[in-house]
Amino acid sequence: MDTQVIVAGAGPTGLTLAVDLGMRGIRCTLIEQKPAPQFLPKMERCNARSMEIYRRMGLADNIRAKGLPRDVPMDVFIVLKNVVEPPLLHKKYPSVAELKAQIASTHDGTLPLEPYQLISQYTLEPLLKAVAEMLPSVCVRYGHELLSFTQDVDSVTATVKDLAGKVSEISAAYLVGCDGGASVVRKQLGIKLAGNEDRMLQLRQSLHYCEGLLDKIPIGKGRHYHVADNHATQLIVQDSTKHFTLHSIVDSDADMVTMFRETIGMPLKFDTLYVGEWKQNLLLAERYGQGRVFMAGDAVHLVIPTGGLGMNSGVGDAIDLSWKLAGTLQGWGGSNLLASYEIERRHVGERNVEASRYATLGRRKWRSMWRPDIRDDTPEGAEARANLVRVADVEQRKSNELVGAELGYRYVGSPLIWPEPGEGPLHDFVEYVPTTWPGARLPHVWLDDGAAMQDRIGYDSGYTLLQLGRTQADVSALAKAFAAYSAPFRVLDIPDEDPRAVYGYDLLLLRPDLHVAWRGNRLPDNPERLAAMATGH
Ligand SMILES: Cc1cc2nc3c(=O)[nH]c(=O)nc-3n(C[C@H](O)[C@H](O)[C@H](O)COP(=O)(O)OP(=O)(O)OC[C@H]3O[C@@H](n4cnc5c(N)ncnc54)[C@H](O)[C@@H]3O)c2cc1C
């Protein structure tokens, strides 16, 4: 075979998957139809979970260096007309620097190891591409379009066309379609997207370069400025602090330029770099793959950017699939390893579509309070403004405070996760309550020497049995059981008090992606069964 894994599509999902596979020593070929990454506006916020993942991959500092400066606040404003007049509502959200200080002094597992980071998709993609190109086992081919594929019991063959029109074939053990909302892979597999029951809006988006605007905004620096109008107008600060996107429902591209001028409300010089249309979607694929072909990212779930769960869900997919592909290709993974991908991630995809709907309905609720006389200097105008603010104060939070969705997701019904009796903690989109319920992400805790638990475990550590609170439990049988599958496994003894207190148990079995596979105070009666389950046998 030409390679072990073909990754089709170099958006954030495909790039993250290719980099993670490459770091695990898996040979992969990343094909992307575009000749190069494009400078087009899309996502701009990597959430805390994605940043924890990028930290494990050694990329977090690089991403922060290229993202929004660490001291810029992430505040959200609702304004009446423009960013000059006093805002109707100002919600404060901490800068990265402020959050880092908060995280450094928090020891109860409630905060993530890394705060969010604002970085525009057009900055993130070239960064990840450069990392992928440095990995010896990753072959990066831009200007290569996936036309179709065939698969049999042993392999997948992709038919690819380059920019000169030359058609060739690439064979591999697996193909992963990270090819976005119009996925060729999904269409060829005949897998449908379901959803869009709600009214979906069609908006225009423009990208502007306006030097010095952010510093001049008299109402304060922030991230989002929503205009309380009947056009759903929103101004978004991009990572350079000199680029801004505007979303609005208007009749023409030219209207976007007028709308930007009105929104900034100051006679500043600016360039318009792009204007385009985009449509909201809330869709989930019926399946996440078939046979040797998998899909990840927007190819299987499309959410409304409100809540910022699009790319972040794709990064989660990539990181769940990557170690399972590696474990299978390295020979220690059983058939349940790859089969669990769809079970684990489709469930999260479903929740994130719901979380995005929840955020969007909140946004729509306060926007529905708009009245034609809302800008009038009359008692009726004042009343309309007060009503909108009252609703927005509650409803806008639903877009910006989805920490429960971001950190609190867990893998339910997975064949790799040891089932505990009961339903498990309730899933809350807003509130995150640290838990080690099997399937959950390991909550972040600091160790006595100041290191983060995640860093102590390291990146390519395989399965880790955490021994906490100076337990004397005999765990040798589990090590033997993992060795029988030649699966990477080690015991990490952490005598510190905080982790034991937060995690609640003496023993935690962690998967390579730091999700909890099992917990207890002594090994289960049949450790062989636990090792078999966790490795997909
Ligand atoms: C206005 C806006 C704001 C957003 N804000 C956020 C945010 O703040 N946070 C967030 O998490 N998400 C956000 N999103 C969503 C986010 O942009 C997407 O979820 C993300 O781009 C999905 O990444 P992906 O890699 O799965 O797919 P894509 O980014 O769509 O990448 C797919 C890639 O596959 C390539 N491709 C397609 N077909 C083929 C083929 N046949 N052969 C080879 N290559 C192919 C495409 O050229 C493309 O490069 C936003 C989206 C929009 C529109």
Of 168, 278, 311, 345, best ligand 1 pocket probe by most atoms within 8 Å of the beta carbon? 311
Of 20, 39, 51, 121, best ligand 1 pocket probe by most atoms within 8 Å of the beta carbon? 121
pTM: 0.97
Tens digits of residue pLDDT in 285-338:
999 999 999 999 999 999 999 889 999 999 999 999 999 999 999 999 999 999
Quick check: helix, strand or coil at residue 514? coil
What contacts 373, CB < 8 A, 6 or more positions away? Answer: 380, 381, 384
In this structure, the residue with its CA closest to atom 37 of ligand 1 is 179
What's the confidence (pLDDT) of residue 351?
96
- 14 burial level (CB within 10 Å; 0-12, 13-18, 19+): buried
What's the confidence (pLDDT) of residue 198?
79
Q: How far is the CA of 227 from the centre of ligand 1 (A)?
A: 26
Contact between residue 6 and residue 170 where contact means Cβ atoms under 8 Å apart: yes
Estimate to the nearest angstrom the gap between the alpha carbon of 178 and the chain centroid. Answer: 14
What contacts 163, CB < 8 A, 6 or more positions away? Answer: 35, 143
End-to-end CA distance of the chain: 26
What's the confidence (pLDDT) of residue 460?
81
What contacts 9, CB < 8 A, 6 or more positions away? Answer: 31, 32, 33, 146, 177, 178, 179, 180, 183, 297, 299
Tens digits of residue pLDDT in 240-288:
999 999 999 999 999 999 999 999 999 999 999 999 999 999 999 999 9
Any residues with Cβ below 6 Å from ligand 1, and which? 8-14, 31-34, 42-45, 121, 145-146, 178-180, 184, 205, 278, 297-298, 305, 308-312, 314
Of 16, 20, 30, 42, best ligand 1 pocket probe by most atoms within 8 Å of the beta carbon? 42
Q: How far is the CA of 306 from the centre of ligand 1 (A)?
A: 15
What's the confidence (pLDDT) of residue 197?
82
Q: Is the dihedral of CA 216, 218, 222, 228 positive or negative?
A: negative
In this structure, the residue with its CA closest to atom 31 of ligand 1 is 11
Q: How far is the CA of 178 from the centre of ligand 1 (A)?
A: 9
Q: How far is the CA of 373 from the centre of ligand 1 (A)?
A: 39
Contact between residue 18 and residue 314 where contact means Cβ atoms under 8 Å apart: no
Q: How far is the CA of 303 from the centre of ligand 1 (A)?
A: 11
In this structure, the residue with its CA closest to atom 41 of ligand 1 is 146
Q: Distance between CA atoms of 477 and 529, rounded to whole angstroms?
A: 11
Q: Distance between CA atoms of 122 and 44, rounded to whole angstroms?
A: 9
What's the confidence (pLDDT) of residue 461?
78
Among 397, 83, 42, 399, residue whose Cα is nearest residue 228: 83
Q: Distance between CA atoms of 399 and 79, rounded to whole angstroms?
A: 17
Q: How far is the CA of 311 from the centre of ligand 1 (A)?
A: 7
Q: Distance between CA atoms of 292 and 175, rounded to whole angstroms?
A: 6
In this structure, the residue with its CA closest to atom 26 of ligand 1 is 297
Low-confidence ranges of the chain (pLDDT < 50): none
Contact between residue 186 and residue 298 where contact means Cβ atoms under 8 Å apart: no
Tokens found for residue 264: 């900034």
Q: How far is the CA of 529 from the centre of ligand 1 (A)?
A: 40
Q: How far is the CA of 164 from the centre of ligand 1 (A)?
A: 25
Q: How far is the CA of 381 from the centre of ligand 1 (A)?
A: 41
Atom number in ligand 1 closest to CA 308: 9
In this structure, the residue with its CA closest to atom 39 of ligand 1 is 179
In this structure, the residue with its CA closest to atom 1 of ligand 1 is 42
Quick check: helix, strand or coil at residue 303? coil
For residue 403, list its beta bridge partners.
none
